Structure 1
Amino acid sequence: MEFKPSDAAWIKIDPFELELLVLNLLRNANEALVKTANARIEVNVSINKETSEVILTVKNNGPKLSEEALIKIKRGFETTKKNGTGMGLVIVSEIVSNAKGRIDFVPSKDRGLLVKITFPLDTHEQKN
């Protein structure tokens, strides 16, 4: 796994919910890589200063997703996993929505999936 931090990026979100969101995304990416040689997960946090947004991406190089699998991911409450419940990404989507963000699932043309979450940048300085 690779993590590429950028400048400090503040968002308004409950710390526990942010942790839950990231853990769910990493767990899903990891599970998608079970049978993948040279498995790789990339995590990136960046700031788009033009739009005042913080962008969190989690990308894996797992198998290419079918259109049907992508629809199930977006719909929620369905899973392609043997022991899955379909709730992980529903929880992630709810957390993102509560933080006034948006989530996009971008399949790669060749392999894997990029999950892109965009939050409004909190322009207030963090107080110590």
Structure 2
Amino acid sequence: MIKQENEKLCNLEYLSEMVNGKKHLIIEIIDVFLKQVSEELELINQAIINKDFATVKNYTHTMKSTVSVVNITLLTPILKEMEELAEKAINIERITELNTTLELMCKQAISEIKTERVKYI
């Protein structure tokens, strides 16, 4: 599920179009994304450890919006499945598996976005 090194996970074209190519806004949104995705991942991890399904549901739902800004479409089905399982308060093992994939893909996305961010300075 992780994209190969030469394949991009993120696509900042949508973001650029959204702000009419204004570089300072792109940087601002990227910075918010980087902070937010790290915080949300940490909160999801903690919630899984505590088997707090309500928190897993809330943050996976929120994270769908967070990742949509940088167009990480591959994460949507993962987050959706995690949210649905958490809503039913079932299968913490599957949620944990999905979370491992989510973390790996987010690390790749963060790396890509940090690299892309430099282009807007």
What TM-score bracket applies, with the shorter chain setting the length? 0.3 to 0.5
User: TM-score, normalized by length of structure 2?
Assistant: 0.40
Name the structure, 1 or 2, with higher relative contact order (CA <8 Å, separation 6+).
Answer: 2
More strand by share: 1
More helix by share: 2
User: TM-score, normalized by length of structure 1?
Assistant: 0.38
